[in-house]
Structure 1
Amino acid sequence: MYSKEEIKKGKERFWTRFGQYLSVIPSAEGEKINWVNYKTGIKHLFFRMDADQYQGVIMIEMANPDAGIRELQFETFKTYKKIFEETVGEDWVWEKEFVDAYGKATTRIYKELKGVNLYNEQDWPELISFFKPRLLALDDFWTTAKYGFSIFK
């Protein structure tokens, strides 16, 4: 079991290192980007990464408080599903209804890596190798798809 302080410091160290590692890589449009805090430009629509002592996960999260808007966003993503799958090169889980640990309803599209521990530095290369290509693929996908989401701005 990890203390709250160990969890906080472990996450800070990993995400700082990950951000530094990716800082030299431009976005698909050739711009400097904060990869750890990716901005989609759409309110309540996020590209998120998370890890803990059990897994790493990368996701597109639709967190609009209005369930109808979340559903419309999800349907819009479904119209781009073929492009998405070609860009990321693998199947992701498409979850229309998800309730997070805080009781907040969201919709998400995600990929998990099980059996890694963020707090074990020996697992960091595997986590980075998991997150990096998928985040770059999400960015590449978003350069095409973002125009279809402009109605949600």
Structure 2
Amino acid sequence: MYSKAETSKIRADFWITFGRYMKPVPNAEGRKINWPNYKTGIRNIYFRMKAERGFASIGIELGHADEELQELYFEQFVQLKKIFESTVGEEWEWKLHQTNEFGQKISKIELVLPHVNVMEQKDWPDIISFLKPRIIALDEFWSLVKPGFEGL
């Protein structure tokens, strides 16, 4: 069992390692980017990457407090689903109005890699190999569709 401080340090070390690994990779527009803290530039739309005990995940999270607006954003993504799937190259789970770990209603489009543990350094290559191509694909998708979200 790890102490809270050890757990925090191991998680931080993972994200630092991931960031260093991704640093030379430019975004879809050829610019430098902080991949672990990806900013979509649109309020209430987030790209989330998680590395936990038991799984890793990546996804788009819609966090607007107004559930009707959140649903509007979600429906806009649904209209772009064919572009999304052709860009990421696989099917992800689409979840409207889920409750997150903080009790907030969110909607998300995500993919989960089960049976990995960020606390085990031996799993880091699998987690990084899972996250890397997908965050790059999300960035490519976002560069195509972001203008459609800029006035909402």
Counterpart of 2:53 in structure 1 is 53
Counterpart of 2:104 in structure 1 is 104
Secondary structure of 2:150's counterpart equals helix
C-alpha separation in 2, matches of 1:6 and 1:60: 29
> Normalising by the residue count of structure 2, what TM-score does the alignment of the two structures yield?
0.97
Secondary structure of 1:54's counterpart equals strand
Q: Could you list the per-position Cα deviations for residues 42-92 of structure 1 after superposition, in whole angstroms to 9, with x for gaps in the alignment? A: 001100101111000001000011111110100000111000000000010
User: Cα offset for 1:2?
Assistant: 3.4
In the TM superposition, what are the counterparts of 1:67-106 in structure 2 within 5 Å? 67-106=67-106
C-alpha separation in 1, matches of 2:144 and 2:35: 18
User: Cα offset for 1:6?
Assistant: 2.2
C-alpha separation in 2, matches of 1:65 and 1:7: 31
List gaps (5 residues or longer) in structure 2: none
In the TM superposition, what are the counterparts of 1:5-16 in structure 2 within 5 Å? 5-16=5-16
C-alpha separation in 2, matches of 1:113 and 1:124: 12
Q: Stretches of 4+ moved more than 6 A in 1?
A: none
Kindly provide the amino acid, as one letter, of the partner of residue 97 in structure 1.
Answer: H
CA RMSD of aligned residues (A): 0.8
> Normalising by the residue count of structure 1, what TM-score does the alignment of the two structures yield?
0.97
In the TM superposition, what are the counterparts of 1:29-40 in structure 2 within 5 Å? 29-40=29-40
User: Cα offset for 1:97?
Assistant: 1.2
Secondary structure of 1:116's counterpart equals strand
Q: Count residues with an aligned counterpart.
A: 152
List gaps (5 residues or longer) in structure 1: none
